[in-house]
Amino acid sequence: MTFDNRELALAQHLADEAGKILRRHWRTGLNVEQKADASPVTLADRECEEHLRTLIEKAFPDHGIIGEEHGNLRSDALSQWVIDPIDGTRSFIAGYPIFATLIALTKDGVPVVGIIDQPITRERWTGVKGDSATCNGEPVTASRTQSLTQAVIATTSTYYFTQEEAALFATFKHQCAQTVLGGDAYAYAMLASGQLDIVIDAGMKPYDFCALVPVIEGAGGIITDWNGAALTPASAGRVIACANEKLHEQALKLIQSATI
Amino acid sequence: MTFDNRELALAQHLADEAGKILRRHWRTGLNVEQKADASPVTLADRECEEHLRTLIEKAFPDHGIIGEEHGNLRSDALSQWVIDPIDGTRSFIAGYPIFATLIALTKDGVPVVGIIDQPITRERWTGVKGDSATCNGEPVTASRTQSLTQAVIATTSTYYFTQEEAALFATFKHQCAQTVLGGDAYAYAMLASGQLDIVIDAGMKPYDFCALVPVIEGAGGIITDWNGAALTPASAGRVIACANEKLHEQALKLIQSATI
């Protein structure tokens, strides 16, 4: 089951359109007192998702859509667009240019196209099943780091962990060379680009992880759930990405030895 | 006690020179297996600090220097250059463009010039005592958010806290509208630009916080230690920055009510 060029072109177009909207809303929260409701990030998120949904419906009226703000459409369709206009809303709020727009296309549950787009730094990682992943057209390669003790590990936030998950992450932190907090999807892009060796997260939703799969795999990395199973829109939200098979084996062993 | 134009020009020149070196080392860690020692970040840090020290010595041979890698020089001098080539080394390692070069000049213990420079996104915040702070030449203003419950708060990493400090931060997290992790000096720059309302950190060193003072104050914000005292190179490392006096008052009250 694969994708065609029209579908890949739409994925790129969706990322372009999202970028235009997000750059317009970026850092406009100056002196807005009511940040809690109808914040710039919420407005940008909603406007963006509505626009992307319209474009998808127009191009492929029989495809399904999975999105954060407006829920699921045609859940039984073979082709599903899984989109998140702003992954890393806290980074967006803070004004850190490390949030991302995520666009994925899955076929029969398999992510076949994935885009991680950073519209401020204008970096775009594209992955398509069975081919090399790229950043702005240039191939990217995950690192060759072979052991946990030399690995740089990241997680988005320790706040997203249960107590048991936090204890497991503390074990990783203790074993690995360096620990980085923050990053959301941008951390997975950095793994694809060889900067980070392991990224581990819990509580992720399909629109948080589907787009990551073709990018990580196309860079030579491995991304699975915490049991080592392939990620599909139906996966629970515990995700581990590693730069290569050797690291993935060691990481899974560490997970299996923990009480989670 | 104030600065002269030659000193301000040197501060800008130091940031320019640091940027050139850091852009050269940025994201070159691909497939480097021995990340723990002599990592790209360490090499960049050392090369940068040596170069900046040479430039300072040449321009102002009687000024003191406080830096991370090569220690202190002429500690009794009235004018002290307080520099950190890479604040946010973990962000640098991860490939996140939110690390910063920090350049400060203190006179008799008072930070009179401060620069926060992000060489990848090419954003530079400049603060000089008694004048408006700027980002790339444009004035910046901290937010008017008036209460903790509407505030967005940030800290660099919960790992830098003692148990008591972590408990205090949890109280802030509970009271504030949003919590952001990560950012280092970039978080303080975002406070100056009105994105974040409160930044709180512990365990900071003079080269981490001296450059922040003129930037935050020049944007209308307040930055002190956790007792509300002005920051000098001799301050202990507990730092709180707030967008305005009202928030600062509330934040200090919360700190005073805690056991730290």
Report the gap between the CA of B186 and the closest CA in chain A (Å): 8
State the best of B34, B93, B198 to mutate against chain A, taking most chain A CBs within 10 Å.
B93
Element (H, E) at B106: strand B100-107
Nearest Cα residue to B67 out of B26, B112, B18, B13: B18
Report the gap between the CA of A64 and the closest CA in chain B (Å): 33
Q: How far is CA A132 from CA A125, A126, A198, B195, in A?
A: 11, 9, 19, 37
For residue B42, is pLDDT > 80?
no
For residue B33, is pLDDT > 50?
no
Record: contact A187-B94, CB cut-off 8 A: yes
Q: Say which residue, B30 or A54, is predicted with more confidence.
A: A54
Report the gap between the CA of B108 and the closest CA in chain A (Å): 34
d(CA B152, CA B145): 9
At A34 the pLDDT is 46
Confidence class of residue B159 from pLDDT cuts 50, 70 and 90? confident
Tokens of B183: 């950012």
Report the gap between the CA of A200 and the closest CA in chain B (Å): 14
At B170 the pLDDT is 93
Record: contact A144-B27, CB cut-off 8 A: no
Which residues in chain B are closer than 8 Å to A186, comparing Cβ atoms? 96
Which residues in chain A are closer than 8 Å to B182, comparing Cβ atoms? 96, 181-183
Q: Is B76 on the interface with A (CB under 8 A)?
A: no
d(CA A81, CA A64): 6
Q: How far is CA B183 from CA A103, A167, A209, B118, B222, in A?
A: 26, 24, 24, 12, 18
Q: How far is CA B99 from CA B150, B183, B184, in A?
A: 27, 7, 7
At B31 the pLDDT is 39
Element (H, E) at B157: none
pLDDT tens digits along B183-235: 999 999 999 999 999 999 999 999 999 999 999 999 999 999 999 999 999 99
For residue B29, is pLDDT > 70?
no
Which residues in chain B are closer than 8 Å to A34, comparing Cβ atoms? 150
Instruction: Choose among A95, A146, A180: nearest Cβ to B193.
Output: A95
Give B234: exposed, middle or buried? Use CB within 10 Å, 0-12, 13-18, 19+: exposed
Record: contact B97-A94, CB cut-off 8 A: no
At B32 the pLDDT is 45
Which residues in chain A are closer than 8 Å to B186, comparing Cβ atoms? 96
pLDDT tens digits along A201-220: 999 999 999 999 999 999 99
For residue A167, is pLDDT > 70?
yes
Record: contact B195-A29, CB cut-off 8 A: yes
State the best of B30, B161, B244 to mutate against chain A, taking most chain A CBs within 10 Å.
B30
At B68 the pLDDT is 83
Average pLDDT, rounded, for chain B: 93
At A16 the pLDDT is 98
At B28 the pLDDT is 85
Q: Is B166 on the interface with A (CB under 8 A)?
A: no
Confidence class of residue A70 from pLDDT cuts 50, 70 and 90? confident
Query: Directed axis angle between helix B163-175 and helix B245-256, to 10°?
Result: 130
β pairing state of A71-73 and A64-67: antiparallel
Average pLDDT, rounded, for chain A: 93
pLDDT tens digits along A104-146: 999 999 999 999 999 999 999 999 999 999 999 999 999 999 9
At A165 the pLDDT is 93
d(CA B131, CA B124): 16
